[in-house]
Amino acid sequence: MSSKAFRVLKCCGVALALSALALTSARSQQGPGKVDFRRDVQPLLRQYCIGCHGPSQQMNAFRLDRRRDAMRGGTLAMIAPGNSQASRLYLKLIGSQYGPQMPPTGALRPEQIAILKAWIDQGAEWPDEASGEEPSPPPYPKAAPIMKALRDGDKQAFKRLALQNPKAGNLRGPSGLFQS
């Protein structure tokens, strides 16, 4: 092999190695195996869980269509962000220690369980826009000083303000039209 051919091969090898390094670096910056709720988790919940744990039916008083219900605690949290081993959801997917294995139609595939486990272990991020909850209307402006006095423990200010506008605490929205 001539020295010129050797140099060309050497350059190609270096270029290939640099390309591989750049690709590896780009992948590591994306975060190895970062699970996205909307892309990876929500479709699994919709396909396998919401039928029994959704708006129309809540088996064992458990919902997976709304973040606040799915994240509720207890002796063992339903979903314990950062700890799949302390999450009833995960434990019900992998065995029958806490009742029948879920879903009742048959176990999820190992890669589907791995997605849910990784999501929980990564902090169980569940974006507000995918939470399944309606945002609360802003408080009635006249209720804000009453609520502040209550939070501050200022009994005299609270009584005075509450007497001035006795229904203010039950009204919602900028114009105070919505009853709670």
What average pLDDT does the segment 119-144 reach?
81
Name the band, by pLDDT with cuts 50, 70 and 90, for residue 17: very low
Categorize the per-residue pLDDT at 4 as very low, low, confident or very high, splitting at 50, 70 and 90: low
CA dist., res. 104 & res. 97, Å (int): 14
* Phi (first) and psi of residue 72, to 5 degrees: -65, 155
pLDDT tens digits along 78-110: 899 999 999 999 999 999 888 899 999 999 999
HSE at residue 130, side-chain half, CA atoms within 13 A, is 16
Tokens of 16: 């290939």
pLDDT at 24 over 60: no
Write down the residue that tokens 């008083």 correspond to: 61
Mean pLDDT of 55-74: 86
pLDDT at res. 42: 94
pLDDT above 90 coverage of the chain, percent: 41
Q: Is 5 helix (H, G, I), strand (E, B) or coil?
A: helix
Mean pLDDT of all residues in the chain?
79
Query: 């869980």: which residue's tokens?
Result: 49
With a CB cutoff of 8 Å and minimum separation 6, the contacts of 28 are none
**What pLDDT score was predicted for residue 119?**
97
Element (H, E) at 178: strand 178-179
How far is 18 from 24, CA to CA, in rounded Å? Answer: 10
Model pLDDT for residues 28-52, shown as the tens digit of each residue: 333 458 999 999 999 999 999 999 9
Is 129 or 59 the better-scoring residue by pLDDT?
59
d(CA 175, CA 177): 5
- 171: enclosing H helix or E strand: strand 171-172
Contact (Cβ atoms closer than 8 angstroms) between residue 168 and residue 146: yes
117-122 mean pLDDT: 97
Q: How far is CA 80 from CA 11, 48, 73, 88, 136, in A?
A: 51, 20, 8, 8, 25
